[in-house]
Structure 1
Amino acid sequence: MELKKTLIKNVNIVNEGTIFNGDVLIEGEYIKEISKRITAKSADVLVFDAEGQYLLPGVIDDQVHFREPGLTDKADIATESKAAIAGGITSFIEMPNTNPQTTTIEKLEEKFEIAAKASSANYSFMFGGTNDNLDEILKLDVNQVAGLKLFLGSSTGNMLVDDVEVLEKIFKSTNMLISVHCEDEGTIKNNFKKHLEEFGDDIPIKYHPIIRSEEACYLSSSRAIELAKKTGARLHVFHLSTGKETNLFNNKISLKDKKITAEVCVHHLWFSDEDYEKKGTFIKWNPAVKTKTDRDQLWEALLDDRIDVIATDHAPHTLEEKQNVYTSAPSGGPLVQHALPAMLEMYHKGKISIEKVVEKMCHNPAILFQVERRGYIKEGYYADLVLVDLNKPWTVNKDNILYKCGWSPFEGTTFKSRITHTFLNGSLVYENAKFNNVKAAKRLTFNR
């Protein structure tokens, strides 16, 4: 039964760069009170003694592909949002390269209708820009959609925007945050042609980061940044994969004042090209996982605030698809269930503090997208909260993977930290590997 009040006691609260032990009272959908000690004043309060555990704001994942509509053999909003909740992700922003693509307001609203019925997590969607839909972009209500997504390199769904004049018009015409996938198409095509001539369709996977190269990424991202500076557009560069690109970004001003921001994904922080031999096409992403040096430089930029956000780019494909030869194996993999445990594993390894994990996965997405009353543990904010046991090891295997595709690049990995409880808009929706039958998800709203 859903209770109106919940009191979480004796918990280590992680928020705004600090960790302090205290209590959190949830009333209805919101955080009512945060204090050193709170006493339950009535019998209708559900009390959790969370001694030794950590309370984090729910993660906001600003880049997922849940494949609905049109690609639901791979995933759908219902399955992937449940996996997200189990992974401590309480809000997601989904990408437009579905089938049909989300490039008209009609198709955007259809996705909102699907999510309202099916999603277990809070939701919003990116609107897709193309070479010929500027009129639709100009009709958007900026308070009702997360942002605009442009593919400056082809990826799943082939929404490549390659008309330079159109691109500049889009940048000039909207005040919305423009998120971009940056890889130079000409460079990739030339590299691919060379390898195809040498190897045929079965190109060894180790050449993926050579085909989708550092040069391809840097050329595209530097051009996008140049255009943003020229037009004054608000630009967010998705999934940086090279150390060279990190030097394009600034850490000398606060995030709320930045016009040009960057993101890194979990897989680019975890894997390197040394993992292709063992993982094969299961770690084939666009942009590609690159060298250990690139990975080290991405970490450096994340920690010194040139990179602002950690996201997943959750992009599932079927097991059968991923086992194809290089030219037929699609890029992308599922991550929402394992992203937060993976980053907490990096805390255990001394790579990052828990406070910094929360900043990059919870606070900063809320700031960038101006999400209303989420991403923090604050009185008056929605009670999207995650309880974590930092010392409860578990191993990823087929039996506990929740993705519809049924596989994970983390299979066989043992994580020390476990998400034990997830609260969504004040409701306990996930508890010790079980989902409660509570419909609590809401459409994200924005303060713009």
Structure 2
Amino acid sequence: MSATLIKNARVVNEGRVQERDLRIVGQRIEKIESHIIAASTDQIVEARGRFILPGMIDDQVHFREPGLTHKGSIASESRAAVAGGITSYMEMPNVSPATTTIEALERKFDIAANNSLANYSFYLGATEDNLEQIKRLNPETHCGVKVFMGASTGDLLVENPTALEGIFRESPVLIVTHCESGAVIAKNREALLRKKSAFTIHDHPVLRDDEACYASSSYAVDLAKRHGSHLHVLHITTEKELSLFQTGPIELKRITAEACVHHLWFSEEDYAVLGNLIKCNPAIKKASDREALIRALHTNQIDIIATDHAPHTFEEKQVGFEQAPAGLPLVQHALLTLLDHVSHGRLDITQVVEKTAHNPAIRYGIKERGFVREGYFADLVLVDDKQTTEVSHDNALYHCGWTPFAGHRFSSQIVCTWVNGGLVYHNNKVLEDESRAMRLLFSR
């Protein structure tokens, strides 16, 4: 069985940074010690004091397959993900056709089994009439059910109170929500139309303001409290919403919250330069909201950091504001943005690991992942905090071929990524032949 010995690493795990050697045998971490003597058959990786992190577990991505593969695919976007240190992901149901049945859900698992470079799971999408499908979800093999509460189109929009009550009462798995109130957005639109005849990108955070977010997220929290549901509210963007969430360890919570990397990075001031390229839902808002989210990571009101990776072609973004689709590609550069926060003293590297690996593993009950532990799957990232990464559209691996970070130089570099012990990324090259990606399994 193949063995890899990583020497002289700074292992970041469970609140500590320790100088350690690690041996990977097959798919798992066999040993973690201060000094491990190399066997003659070991493939040695000299870390030279660089960081070893548990791979990021991204609980919110849109990889666009099936039906939207001109934007991205499970193959292309998982390739970008491992280049960014993401070793596991959970993908959303708003593809074409939408993933609203167990049969459609399992077909996506089949696609990933043949094409994904990172470990994978997929959400079932809730509709106003598929409660029986939701009840069939298996807590050990399905990550959760996604509910678009007032901010989607087609079958995936769930606004009917009776349907929502049924989902929150009956779901056997974690409920994850996109929370923006359609009624509030419509009211904001009417108010703006009294002042102007056409909207620009600068109106986006006004249309989808803090009240639109709070009205919906508070409704979701109230439903979860009344039914004793397990609820995870995705991509919180406003200071106002933070009052809905408790501090404290994630293990004690039934209701949790998440922030996404672009909301921790950009503010509405960036619309002037990036325009539709950073149009997303929920909208990027004020700098004060961004700073409040970072503070909430310290207080543990925000439990998880994810991406909401949602690629569109560059051409699709080069239209008028209202016609431009919402979403941006992020998985290749997400962890690098967080390491920049570390370099500027806004976050500690142990907090980054907690929010991107430990807490997603705990919240979803992911089996034997999310930590650097003996016996766990070897989903690992080697990071050099002394080498920088210059970003351009040309070196972006996304199928859409562009990145909102073009022109930025990140303070760190992703050197290696292992998925189940297989080295899938090394020195700026994706090694597809080493793929050992697996379906995520859950203990709950």
- TM-score norm. by structure 2 comes to 0.98
User: Residue 236 of structure 1 corresponds to which residue in structure 2?
Assistant: 232
* CA RMSD, 1 decimal: 1.2
Q: 1:177-196 maps to which residues of 2 (within 5 A)?
A: 177-195=174-192
Q: 1:77-156 maps to which residues of 2 (within 5 A)?
A: 77-155=74-152
Q: Secondary structure at the match of 2:435?
A: coil
**Does structure 1 conserve the Cα–Cα contact (< 8 Å) formed by 2:394 and 2:401?**
no
Letter in 2 for 1:175: P
User: Residue 210 of structure 1 corresponds to which residue in structure 2?
Assistant: 206
Q: 1:9 aligns with which of 7, 10, 23?
A: 7
* Change over 3 Å in CA distance of 1:98–1:197 after alignment to 2: farther
Q: Please say if 1:286 is aligned against 2:284.
A: no
Q: Secondary structure at the match of 2:234?
A: strand
**Does structure 1 conserve the Cα–Cα contact (< 8 Å) formed by 2:138 and 2:173?**
no
Letter in 2 for 1:324: V
Task: Give how far 1:400 is off.
Answer: 0.9
How many residues are aligned here?
Answer: 443
Q: 1:379 aligns with which of 341, 357, 374?
A: 374
Letter in 1 for 2:38: A
Deviations 1:207-255 (A, max 9, x none): 1000001100001001110111011011100000000101110014x21
Q: 1:34-113 maps to which residues of 2 (within 5 A)?
A: 34-41=32-39, 43-113=40-110
Task: Give how far 1:197 is off.
Answer: 6.2
User: Residue 413 of structure 1 corresponds to which residue in structure 2?
Assistant: 408
* Change over 3 Å in CA distance of 1:71–1:193 after alignment to 2: farther
User: Residue 392 of structure 2 corresponds to which residue in structure 1?
Assistant: 397
Q: Distance in 2 between matches of 1:29 and 1:362?
A: 18
Q: 1:300-379 maps to which residues of 2 (within 5 A)?
A: 300-379=295-374
User: Residue 437 of structure 2 corresponds to which residue in structure 1?
Assistant: 441
Moved more, 118-127 or 429-438: 429-438
**Does structure 1 conserve the Cα–Cα contact (< 8 Å) formed by 2:393 and 2:402?**
yes
**Does structure 2 conserve the Cα–Cα contact (< 8 Å) formed by 1:203 and 1:325?**
no
Q: 1:271 aligns with which of 266, 269, 276?
A: 266
**Does structure 2 conserve the Cα–Cα contact (< 8 Å) formed by 1:59 and 1:90?**
yes
Q: Distance in 2 between matches of 1:274 and 1:211?
A: 16
Letter in 2 for 1:19: V
Letter in 2 for 1:21: E
Q: Secondary structure at the match of 2:357?
A: helix
**Does structure 2 conserve the Cα–Cα contact (< 8 Å) formed by 1:155 and 1:286?**
no
* Change over 3 Å in CA distance of 1:82–1:273 after alignment to 2: same
Letter in 2 for 1:288: A
User: Residue 22 of structure 2 corresponds to which residue in structure 1?
Assistant: 24
Q: Secondary structure at the match of 1:12?
A: strand
Task: Give how far 1:418 is off.
Answer: 0.5
Q: Distance in 2 between matches of 1:410 and 1:44?
A: 41
Deviations 1:254-285 (A, max 9, x none): 21120100000001100111111111111111
Task: Give how far 1:114 is off.
Answer: 0.5
Q: Distance in 1 between matches of 2:93 and 2:107?
A: 12
Deviations 1:55-96 (A, max 9, x none): 000100000000000011111000000000000000000001
Letter in 1 for 2:68: L
Letter in 1 for 2:9: V
Q: Distance in 1 between matches of 2:44 and 2:379?
A: 17
Structure 2: runs of 5 or more not aligned: none
Q: Distance in 2 between matches of 1:376 and 1:67?
A: 29
**Does structure 2 conserve the Cα–Cα contact (< 8 Å) formed by 1:97 and 1:157?**
no
Deviations 1:311-351 (A, max 9, x none): 00000111111111111001100000000001000100110
Deviations 1:122-142 (A, max 9, x none): 000011111000011111112
Deviations 1:134-159 (A, max 9, x none): 01111111211111110003236661
**Does structure 1 conserve the Cα–Cα contact (< 8 Å) formed by 2:19 and 2:34?**
yes
Q: Secondary structure at the match of 1:240?
A: coil
Letter in 2 for 1:238: L
Deviations 1:358-382 (A, max 9, x none): 0000100000000000000000000
Q: 1:161 aligns with which of 158, 163, 176?
A: 158
Letter in 2 for 1:15: N
Q: Distance in 2 between matches of 1:72 and 1:65?
A: 11
Task: Give how far 1:195 is off.
Answer: 3.6
Task: Give how far 1:393 is off.
Answer: 1.1
Letter in 2 for 1:117: N
Q: Secondary structure at the match of 1:239?
A: coil
Q: Secondary structure at the match of 2:235?
A: strand
Q: Please say if 1:258 is aligned against 2:256.
A: no
Q: Distance in 2 between matches of 1:163 and 1:242?
A: 25
Letter in 1 for 2:72: A
Q: Distance in 2 between matches of 1:69 and 1:350?
A: 41
User: Residue 249 of structure 1 corresponds to which residue in structure 2?
Assistant: 245
Q: Distance in 2 between matches of 1:62 and 1:157?
A: 23
Q: Secondary structure at the match of 1:247?
A: helix
* Change over 3 Å in CA distance of 1:303–1:158 after alignment to 2: farther
**Does structure 2 conserve the Cα–Cα contact (< 8 Å) formed by 1:98 and 1:157?**
no
